[in-house]
Structure formats: C-alpha cells, structure tokens
Amino acid sequence: MVISKRFFIVVLFAVAAGAGGAVWLFSQSDDPSRPSPGSAASGSLHSDDGRKRAAKFFSGQKNYDLTGGQEMKPRW
C-alpha cells in the first residue's frame, strides 16, 4: 500500500488542526468565577490598574482645536 506525499501532508495538517482545536476547547474554563488560563486577569495582581492605564492611554482628546487650519484640497 503506497500513500502519496500529498495525501500524507493533508492528513498531517488535519490531525494538527484537530489537536489544536481540542486543546483550545478543553483549556477553556467551565467555571465563570475562575478565569481561563489565557485571560488577562489570570495571575495578574494589577489587572484593574492595567485597565485604567490602558483606558487613559487609548482615550483620546475629546475636543480638538479646529480654528486656523488649512482647507483640505485634493492634490491632482
């Protein structure tokens, strides 16, 4: 019985994808009070502080000074 190289590679990728999906599926937490291993709150003592710093960093200036600007013109 001869197995072609292409068939072997397809089967190998399918097995790898199935194994990866099984690991991801079974690594999810069933208990809502216990965070899953990949979540940001797992083991982090400063998760609330980190959230506040991230919110401050990503929140932009709400009021922009729009006076004295150049009129937008297409360059063609």
pLDDT digits (tens, 9 = 90+) for 47-72: 788 888 888 888 877 777 778 877 77
Of these ranges, 12-16, 27-31, 45-49, the one predicted with the greatest mean pLDDT is 12-16
Query: Does residue 68 form part of some domain?
Result: no
Computed over every residue of the chain, the mean pLDDT equals 78
Query: Does residue 38 form part of some domain?
Result: no
Single pTM value for the model: 0.39
Per-residue b or e along 12-33, where b marks 16 or more CB atoms closer than 10 Å to that residue's CB: eeeeeeeeeeeeeeeeeeeeee
What pLDDT was estimated at residue 38? 55
Contact (CB, 8 A) for 41 and 35: yes
Domain, as residue range, for 12? 1-29
- How many domains, the chain? 1
**Residue 7 reports pLDDT greater than 90:** yes
Query: Does residue 1 form part of some domain?
Result: yes
